[in-house]
């Protein structure tokens, strides 16, 4: 059965304190791994798509990487506005669905 | 107006009421989705439509009835709901089904069942 597990569930950071979020997955035939950001009362906002092991994507203070079993979202020198829940989802080659992880709630304190 | 728009943003209803959630996308996408997001649970896919045809129903109870009259609009008709149906209902769209492009989400309808 396809599984996506995110850790930690919650992360409290001081402003400027870099850290990494983990997304572990077990799926046959990965077609793409997606990272989303979700603010309270809002829908998920797309951040990155990664397609193959070794791929990296960057956007401002965020960098996503992918291996054959997991993906990391690195937050460098975070600011309070980076506080959100970060969601990981995988799309496998067969089927129409995205399988989501439970998310990591990130709180960046000034 | 751009993106994916959902109405209403909040809905409170009794278990015997009938209501509908609406989703509209202005992205020219051909696939649309309904998700349920409950506290402390991952997003759960409910229904998938491609070019107005339902292609997936993830064992959703019949008290939820989707409708897709055209590729820009998606509805979720609700009747005789249970308290455990209280959740955030999210609509999403993507350019095509089974594509590599990301899904784009609306901001959801927060549903509370009394």
In the prediction, which pLDDT does B51 show?
87
* Average pLDDT value for residue range A6-11: 97
Q: What is the signed CA dihedral for B86, B45, B58, B16, rounded to 10 degrees?
A: 20
* Average pLDDT value for residue range A35-57: 95
Residue A95, pLDDT above cutoff 90: no
Residue A93, pLDDT above cutoff 80: no
CB-based contact B32:B23 (threshold 8 Å): yes
Give the pLDDT confidence of B19-38 residue by residue, as tens digits.
999 999 999 999 999 999 99
Residue A46, pLDDT above cutoff 90: yes
Per-residue burial over A33-57, b = 16 or more CB atoms within 10 Å of its CB, e = otherwise: bbbbbbeeebbbeebbbbeeeeeeb
In the prediction, which pLDDT does B1 show?
52
First vs last Cα of chain A: how many Å apart?
41
3-class DSSP state for residue B107?
A: coil
Distance (Å, rounded) from C-alpha A32 to C-alpha A59? 18
Indicate the residue of B56, B102, B104 with minimum beta-carbon distance to A49. B102
In the prediction, which pLDDT does B87 show?
96
* Average pLDDT value for residue range A44-58: 95
Average pLDDT of every residue of chain B: 92
Residue A103, pLDDT above cutoff 90: yes
3-class DSSP state for residue A74?
A: strand
Query: Which tokens in the block code for residue B6?
Result: 């959902």
- Partners of residue B6 in chain A, C-beta under 8 Å: 43
* Average pLDDT value for residue range A3-32: 94
- Partners of residue B106 in chain A, C-beta under 8 Å: 43
Q: What is the signed CA dihedral for B64, B70, B71, B76, rounded to 10 degrees?
A: -10
Place of tokens 């997304």: A23
Residues B48, A97: C-beta atoms closer than 8 Å: yes
In the prediction, which pLDDT does B97 show?
80
In the prediction, which pLDDT does B12 show?
95
In the prediction, which pLDDT does A27 show?
85
* Average pLDDT value for residue range B88-100: 88
- Partners of residue A43 in chain B, C-beta under 8 Å: 4, 6, 90, 92, 105-108
Give the pLDDT confidence of B37-86 residue by residue, as tens digits.
998 899 999 999 988 888 877 789 999 999 999 999 999 999 999 999 99
- pLDDT level of residue B2 (50, 70, 90 thresholds): low
């Amino acid at each position: 059965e396809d599984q996506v597990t995110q850790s930690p569930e919650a992360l409290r950071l001081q402003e400027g304190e870099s850290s990494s979020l983990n997304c572990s997955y077990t799926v046959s035939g990965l077609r793409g791994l997606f990272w989303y950001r979700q603010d309270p009362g809002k829908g998920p906002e797309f951040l990155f798509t990664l397609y193959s092991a070794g791929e990296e994507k960057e956007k401002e203070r965020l960098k996503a990487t992918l291996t054959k079993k997991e993906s990391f979202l690195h937050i460098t020198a975070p600011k309070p506005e980076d506080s959100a829940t970060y969601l990981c989802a995988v799309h496998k080659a067969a089927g129409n669905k995205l399988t989501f992880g439970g998310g990591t709630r990130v709180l960046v304190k000034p | 107006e751009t993106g994916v728009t959902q109405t209403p943003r909040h809905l409170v209803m009794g278990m015997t009421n009938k209501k509908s959630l609406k989703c509209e996308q202005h992205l020219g996408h051909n696939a649309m989705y309904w998700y349920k997001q409950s506290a402390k649970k991952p997003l759960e896919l409910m229904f998938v439509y491609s070019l107005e045809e339902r292609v997936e129903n993830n064992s959703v109870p019949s008290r939820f009835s989707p409708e897709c009259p055209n590729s820009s609009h998606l509805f979720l008709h609700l009747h005789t709901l249970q308290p455990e149906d209280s959740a955030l209902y999210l609509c999403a769209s993507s350019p095509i089904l089974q594509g590599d492009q990301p899904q784009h989400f609306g901001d959801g309808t927060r549903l509370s069942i009394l």
